[in-house]
A and B are shown apart, each in its own frame.
Chain A
Amino acid sequence: MTAEERKQLSVLACKVRLGIIEGTHSAKAGHPGGSLSAADLFTYLYFREMKVDPANPQWEERDRFVLSKGHTAPGLYGALAHKGFFPVSDLLTLRHIGSHLQGHPNMNTTPGVDMSTGSLGQGVSAAAGMALAARYQGKDCRVYTLLGDGEIQEGQVWEAFMFASHYKLDNLCVIIDNNGLQIDGNVADVMSPYPIPEKLKAFGFGVAEIDGHNFDQMEEAFAQARAHKGGPFAIVMKTVKGKGVSYMENQAGWHGKAPNDAEYEIAMAELKAQLAEAEAM
Chain B
Amino acid sequence: MAESKKIATRDSYGNTLKELGALHEDIVVFDADLAGATKTAVFQKAFPERHFNCGIAEGNMMAVAAGAAAMGLVPFASSFAMFAVGRAYEQVRNSIGYPNLNVKIGASHGGISVGEDGASHQCCEDFALMRSIPGMVVMCPSDAVEACAMVKAAYKHKGPVYMRFGRSPVPVFHDEDSFRFEIGKGEVLREGNQVAILATGLMVAEAVQAAETLSAEGVSAMVVNLATIKPLDEELVLRAARTCGKVVTCEEHSVIGGLGEAVCALLSQQLPTPVRRVGVNDEYGYSGPAADLLKAFGLSAGHIVDVVRDFL
User: A117-125, A216-224, A248-256: which lies at the B interface?
Assistant: A117-125
CA separation between A121 and B91, bound complex, in Å? 9
Chain B interface, number of residues (Cβ within 8 angstroms)? 30
Say whether B59 contacts A125, CB under 8 Å: yes
Which residue of chain A is the closest to B50 with respect to CB atoms? A136
Say whether B57 contacts A116, CB under 8 Å: no
List, in ascending order, chain A residues with CB within 8 A of B63's CB. Answer: 122-123, 125-126, 129, 156, 160
Asked, given contacts A125-B63, A163-B54, whether A133 binds B68 with beta carbons under 8 Å apart, the answer is yes
Say whether A137 contacts B73, CB under 8 Å: yes
Taking a contact as CB atoms closer than 8 A, the residue among B28, B60, B64, B91 that contacts A136 in the complex is B28
Instruction: Name which of A108, A115, A155 has the most chain B CB atoms within 10 A of its CB.
Output: A115
Chain A interface, number of residues (Cβ within 8 angstroms)? 35
Say whether A134 contacts B71, CB under 8 Å: yes
List, in ascending order, chain A residues with CB within 8 A of B91's CB. Answer: 122, 125, 156
User: B94-102, B201-209, B241-249: which lies at the A interface?
Assistant: B94-102
List, in ascending order, chain A residues with CB within 8 A of B57's CB. Answer: 156, 159, 162-163
- B310 CB to closest chain A CB (Å) equals 46
Say whether B70 contacts A167, CB under 8 Å: no
Which residue of chain B is the closest to A66 with respect to CB atoms? B67
In A154-178, the 8 Å CB interface with B consists of 155-156, 159-160, 162-163, 166-167
CA separation between A244 and B65, bound complex, in Å? 38
Mark each residue of chain B from 45 to 60: 1 if its CB lies under 8 Å from any CB of chain A, else 0.
0000110101101011
Asked, given contacts A122-B63, A126-B64, A160-B60, whether A133 binds B99 with beta carbons under 8 Å apart, the answer is no
In A45-88, the 8 Å CB interface with B consists of 60, 64, 66
Say whether B94 contacts A128, CB under 8 Å: no
Which residue of chain B is the closest to A116 with respect to CB atoms? B99
CA separation between A148 and B59, bound complex, in Å? 19
B66 interface hit (Cβ, 8 Å): yes
List, in ascending order, chain B residues with CB within 8 A of A156's CB. Answer: 57, 59-60, 63, 91
Say whether B99 contacts A125, CB under 8 Å: no
CA separation between A137 and B57, bound complex, in Å? 24
Taking a contact as CB atoms closer than 8 A, the residue among A116, A128, A159 that contacts B59 in the complex is A159
Which residue of chain B is the closest to A145 with respect to CB atoms? B67
CA separation between A133 and B66, bound complex, in Å? 10
Taking a contact as CB atoms closer than 8 A, the residue among B66, B71, B90, B95 that contacts A137 in the complex is B71
CA separation between A102 and B59, bound complex, in Å? 24
Mark each residue of chain B from 69 to 83: 1 if its CB lies under 8 Å from any CB of chain A, else 0.
111110100000000
List, in ascending order, chain B residues with CB within 8 A of A134's CB. Answer: 71
Say whether A119 contacts B70, CB under 8 Å: no
CA separation between A125 and B61, bound complex, in Å? 8
A107 interface hit (Cβ, 8 Å): yes
Say whether B70 contacts A163, CB under 8 Å: no
Asked, given contacts A60-B72, A132-B52, A159-B60, whether A116 binds B98 with beta carbons under 8 Å apart, the answer is yes
List, in ascending order, chain B residues with CB within 8 A of A126's CB. Answer: 63-64, 66-67, 70, 95
A130 interface hit (Cβ, 8 Å): yes
List, in ascending order, chain A residues with CB within 8 A of B55's CB. Answer: 159, 162-163, 166
Taking a contact as CB atoms closer than 8 A, the residue among B28, B70, B72, B73 that contacts A107 in the complex is B70
Instruction: Name which of B54, B66, B67, B72 has the most chain A CB atoms within 10 A of its CB.
Output: B67
Which residue of chain B is the closest to A114 with respect to CB atoms? B70
A127 interface hit (Cβ, 8 Å): yes
B residues neighboring A (CB under 8 Å) = 28, 49-50, 52, 54-55, 57, 59-73, 75, 90-91, 94-95, 98-100
List, sorted by A's number, 16 A–B pairs whose CB atoms are closer than 8 Å. A66-B67, A106-B99, A116-B94, A119-B94, A126-B66, A126-B70, A128-B67, A131-B67, A132-B67, A133-B28, A133-B70, A137-B72, A139-B71, A156-B91, A160-B60, A160-B63
Known: A130-B67, A132-B68; 4 extra A-B contacts, CB below 8 A, are A106-B99, A116-B98, A129-B75, A137-B73
List 5 tightest A-B contacts by C-beta distance, closest first: A129-B67, A125-B63, A159-B60, A129-B64, A126-B67
